[in-house]
Amino acid sequence: MNDKPHISVLYNEVIDLFAPVEMTRFIDATLGAAGHSLGILEGHPELKEFVGVDQDDVALEIAKEKLAPFKNKLQLIKGNFRDLEKLAPSEKYDGILVDLGVSSMHFDEGARGFSFRFDAPLDMRMDQSQPLTAKEVVNSYSEGDLGRIFRDFGEEKYWRRAAKEIVKRRAEKEIETTFELREVLDPIWPAYVKRKATAPVTKVFQALRIEVNGELEAIRAFLPQALSLLNPKGRLAVISFHSLEDRLVKRFFQEAASDKVSTSGRGGVFLDKEPHVKLVTRGACKPTEEEISQNPRSRSARLRVAEKL
């Protein structure tokens, strides 16, 4: 584990949005380094049960140590938030937070293959007990499936070229490491893409990570479960990091807040004409310039909060 701590994004905003709620039970569905959790526990001495979920053993270990002063209220659970209803020890909660994506611990720990800045085996699993790795995706998916992932999960303009080049090069030799993948893709980028501040392979890496960890399906499964676990006046806060995630959350919240029947399947499926939530944040809450300058990774973060009716 590296020694750079994870900086919690939109920290003050999250704490402020839960501040007005009297909370007996709370779930942090993405515990990570427990920065938000600690703030919530400190700000809500009335809490009787605090559930922290993470699929990563290392995150759970760090959180256990950090939250030790509150250990009599804590239930730390290893699991995926797509199974939240099964994981939650109680029936109802007053607040639920999910801070999506990969923590800085993952990006900065080269060995886990999340970052093209470090040479490492192509792994990218947040839950290391899961079988699917990025190496498996890169070396066994068809050209069509690779292209679809790069287009849909990376919004990569050169998705066709990327898939084609991978399939060509892996026929010569299996692509095993982050640096090998970067080198394989190097010839496909036009000069103007290479001149940009963001490395050209960024979107391909993002797409592979989303596929390996089933990130979008997990969010789709999580949102209705979180809503049904909330007490009236309970709040659900979601921090997302890219437009694919934020779009899912935005649609779900809009449909849950609407008094029209919705079966679009894009967000949630609400078959009655009752609104289920009121939106606490109008639009998405974004980091301030000051936060972005202190923690550039917060740049794309968006926070949406809904209150159960």
Ligand X SMILES: C[S@@+](CC[C@H](N)C(=O)[O-])C[C@H]1O[C@@H](n2cnc3c(N)ncnc32)[C@H](O)[C@@H]1O
Nearer to ligand X among residue 53 and residue 201 (C-beta) = 53
CB 63 within 8 A of CB 84: no
SS3 282: coil
Return the structure tokens found at 69.
């002063």
Q: Which stretch binds ligand X (CB under 6 A): 31-39, 145-153, 194-202, 225-233?
A: 31-39
Q: Is residue 306 a contact point for ligand X (CB under 6 A)?
A: no
- Give the C-alpha distances (Å, rounded to integers) separating 197 from 116, 146, 202, 232: 15, 25, 11, 46
Nearer to ligand X among residue 70 and residue 189 (C-beta) = 70
Return the structure tokens found at 191.
């000069």
Q: Is residue 206 a contact point for ligand X (CB under 6 A)?
A: no
In the complex, what is the shortest distance from the CB of residue 25 to ligand X, in angstroms, rounded to a whole number? 18
In the complex, what is the shortest distance from the CB of residue 10 to ligand X, in angstroms, rounded to a whole number? 10
Nearer to ligand X among residue 161 and residue 286 (C-beta) = 286
Q: Which of 32, 154, 200, 234 binds ligand X (CB under 6 A)?
A: 32
In the complex, what is the shortest distance from the CB of residue 292 to ligand X, in angstroms, rounded to a whole number? 16
Segment holding 248, helix H or strand E: helix 243-257
Q: Is residue 8 a contact point for ligand X (CB under 6 A)?
A: yes
CB 40 within 8 A of CB 31: no
Q: Which of 181, 204, 212, 218 binds ligand X (CB under 6 A)?
A: 218
Question: In sequence order, what DSSP letters do the residues of 112-166 get, joined into one string?
Answer: GS--TTS--BS---SSTTSS--HHHHHHHS-HHHHHHHHHHHH--TTHHHHHHHH
Return the structure tokens found at 263.
């079966």
CB 70 within 8 A of CB 41: yes
Nearer to ligand X among residue 67 and residue 149 (C-beta) = 67
Residues 73-112 that bind ligand X (CB under 6 A): 80-82, 99, 101, 103
Nearer to ligand X among residue 89 and residue 190 (C-beta) = 89
- 105 to 144: interface string for ligand X, x by CB under 6 A: ---------------------x------------------
Q: Which of 13, 26, 35, 150 binds ligand X (CB under 6 A)?
A: 35
Nearer to ligand X among residue 2 and residue 140 (C-beta) = 2
Residues 240-299 that bind ligand X (CB under 6 A): none
Interior/surface letters 101-137, b for 16+ CB within 10 angstroms, e for the rest: bbbbbbbbbeebbbbbebebebbbbbeeeeeebbbeb
**Site residues (vs ligand X, CB under 6 A):** 6, 8, 30, 32-36, 53-56, 59, 80-82, 99, 101, 103, 126, 218
